[in-house]
A and B are shown apart, each in its own frame.
Chain A
Amino acid sequence: MRPLGRPGLALILPLIAIFVFAVLLAFALNRMVRVADDIRVNAEHNMLWVMHQSEIAARRLVETTLRAELGEADAAEIALRLDLLRSRFALLHEGPQRRFMEEIGMREQLSTLNQTLQSIAPPSAPISPSTAQDLREALAPFTRFFSRAANKTMIREWDDLGGRLETARAQLRQIIASLFGITVTGAVLILTLFFALRLSRQRTNMLRRERDFSALLVSSSGDGILAIDAAGRCTIWNDAMATMTGQPAERAVGRKLSDITGFFGTAHVQTALKASLAGKDRSIALQPYYRDAEEPALYVDLRFSPMLDEGRVVGAIVFMHDASDRYAARQRAAQTRGHLEQLVAERTRELDEALLRERSAADLYRNFAGMISHQFRTPLAVADSALQRLIRRGGRASTAEIVDRARGARDAIAGLTRLVASTMDATRLQTGQVGARRVACDLSNLLEGVRARQQAMAPEARIETDHPANLNAVALCDPAHAEQVLENLMSNAVKYAPKGSAITVHLHGNATKLHCDVTNDGPKIAEADRAQLFDANFRGQNSIGTRGTGVGLFIARSLARMQGGDLQLRDTDRGTSFRFTLPRYEGEK
């Protein structure tokens, strides 16, 4: 950066030089005009000649009177000479001459002599020698007067001339000094001009180089660059712009942007253009640009900047960057993120389930001792008391009694074995060791098989199955698991139903699911128990007095859910009703 003082000084020096130059020039001109005026010789400076002529006129008159005495001149000649002398006086009385006479101090004498002259009447012919002599005597002072006047005039004029020459010399000296000053200031100005021109040329060259460089930058830029003037007409349209838009520079320069391609006519772009022409920067990101209907859109970033010239907006420049790659990357990133979120949600659910299973297992082990003490104690006590009686009876026991007691003990032990098996099943379920192998399976057949077995085990029970006539009962399930669930539900229904009451199994479905409702007329499940009914090792109030492990419903529900179905307690007026739900089989996927 140049110091601020420099341009001011560079401007002040020539200004001072110009001022001095002008002043000196005016002064020299003024002096020259004066000299020109002074060296003009006026007729009034010819007074010596006037005096000489006047003296001659006087002497000629005197001479003529002498000749008249000799009879050589007549009255007419004297009258002529007298008139000529009078004309001299007339001349001397006129403006410039009169003033000169005043200057040399002979004005009064002139008037006196004039009066004398006017009083002399021209003599009438014939002229006598005495008249001529009188006339000559009267004229005597005239020649003396003019002789003295000529003398004074000479001195006066020489003084005057000397003074004028001196003045002229002084003025010429001033002119010479001024000319010297003019030469010096002129030299200063020429030098200033020379340096200014050199600087100007250097700057012009620099500007040209910068302009060429800018033009090179603009043309070689990978980004589209365009410029508009204040009226909105295109002035620059580089190669990248032509490539991006498919419009060559020849078709673009000089036209309104909105006429070149419709993209620039869109409200978004127009608003930004207007803002930039109002002096504000604007940018638009990832704007779709459709070159033609078939090709996919380009996604471009636009940057609008005003072009300023000394604070005034003279146009705007627009940079257009092809950001299609970035757009695509962003789209991909969004997809990946969505996918990841899904994956995380799945994993979270799996982990939650695993955690739940772990917790259940922990609960199981925690409750195992309690369960053993509670559930195992009764069969063990039954078996123990039967065996004690046999020991007490000893040899007194009859064979039938021994068989009866031993069977009682065996039954109790068999119950214990089942209890252990169920507990193991539940444990396997809770630790995820049981899997489902789902196939297409007709539930109505399965149901019939279960019903027949249950009927065989409890001949006195009334088990009724029904389903809509045209029901498609094919479910997607693991048949073994489904059978186990149904058996559990039906045996529970038989176990808790009043003697002789009916147990109904109703199979039906909707578009995606099949439902199997198992209902009996047994006592309702207490409100307090409903929430925990499906928990492992829970036995409700109504189970007092009946045998059970407390894991049946837990296992049934677990198996149902494992197959994509569910098991729920229905809210019904009649006894107790459970609904087992499985998904319909919808063909091979």
Chain B
Amino acid sequence: MRYAAISISTCIALAGAALAAEEPVILKVTGLIDDAPAHFTMADLRALPTTTLETSTVVTDGVHNFTGVLLRDLLAQLDATGDVITATALNDYVVDIPRADVEQYDVIVGYSMNGAELDRADKGPLWIVYPRDGHEALQDIRYDYRWVWQLSELEIR
């Protein structure tokens, strides 16, 4: 199955390369993965199995509905082996996320909120979202700083 998945993603990657002129890369994954670095366009991410998540955030009011890719699945697909994920945002914000977070909670790389695509002029195009409302432990500032918006790169270490 994994090989099949990789072959599909490879096709997508190839297709992505063919359409490189129109479709910009929005996420780069480097470090301890197969065939580093890996590049993803929005279309690549949307082609992956989607997950939705309902939660509140610390910077907004009310509960929002997020759609995206499970970070756990993404890393598995890339055969990532490291224990720490260093996430970098467009504004050079950098934070280390323990791999355990990803394994323990359904952390997603979200690309839309309440049905609307996330904008780079807001918190887009990608936002790491924790299922904050579902777990008491996640309602803590030590988790709050791991919510990286305007995500651009993941380095697996």
Q: Which residues of A contact B (CB under 8 A)?
A: 41-44, 46, 53, 56-57, 60, 80, 82-84, 86-87, 90-91, 94-97
Contact = CB atoms under 8 A, between A and B. Distances in A.
A57 to B, nearest CB: 6
B58 A44 contact: yes
Contacts of A96: 58-61
Nearest to B139: A40
Contacts of A43: 58-59, 141, 144
B61 A83 contact: no
Given A53-B91, A57-B91, A80-B90, A87 B150 contact: yes
Contact of A84 (B59, B62, B90, B144): B90
B58 A87 contact: no
A84 B91 contact: yes
B18 interface: no
A94 B62 CA distance: 11
B46 interface: no
Contact of B121 (A41, A46, A87, A94): A87
A355 to B, nearest CB: 127
A96 B120 CA distance: 21
Interface string B26-53: 0000000000000000000000000000
8 contacts: A42-B58, A83-B120, A87-B123, A94-B60, A95-B59, A96-B59, A96-B61, A97-B59
B90 A95 contact: no
Given A43-B59, A91-B59, A97-B59, A80 B120 contact: yes
B141 A42 contact: yes
Given A80-B120, A84-B91, A84-B120, 4 more contacts: A41-B141, A82-B121, A86-B122, A90-B122
A83 B121 contact: yes
B22 to A, nearest CB: 14
Contacts of B122: 86-87, 90
Contacts of A95: 59-62
A43 B119 CA distance: 22
Contacts of B144: 43
Interface of A (DSSP majority class): helix
Interface in B57-84: 58-62
Most buried by B among A41, A87, A94: A87
B91 A56 contact: yes
A80 B62 CA distance: 29
A53 B123 CA distance: 14
B91 to A, nearest CB: 5
Contacts of B93: 53
Contact of B120 (A42, A46, A87): A87
Contacts of B91: 53, 56-57, 60, 84
Nearest to B56: A95
Nearest to B91: A84
Contacts of B119: 83, 87
A149 to B, nearest CB: 16
Interface string B121-157: 1110000000000000000010010000110000000
A158 B151 CA distance: 31
Interface in B78-129: 90-91, 93, 119-123
A94 B120 CA distance: 16
A84 B150 contact: yes
Nearest to A80: B90
Nearest to A57: B91
A86 B141 contact: no
A11 to B, nearest CB: 45
Nearest to A97: B59
A152 to B, nearest CB: 19
A46 B61 CA distance: 16
B147 to A, nearest CB: 9
Contacts of A91: 59, 123
Contacts of A60: 91
Contacts of A80: 90, 120
A384 B49 CA distance: 190
A311 to B, nearest CB: 58
B118 to A, nearest CB: 10
B4 to A, nearest CB: 37
Contacts of A86: 121-122
Contacts of A53: 91, 93
A171 to B, nearest CB: 22
A354 to B, nearest CB: 128
Contacts of A83: 119-121
A97 to B, nearest CB: 7
A559 B93 CA distance: 165
Contacts of B90: 80, 84
A440 B60 CA distance: 153
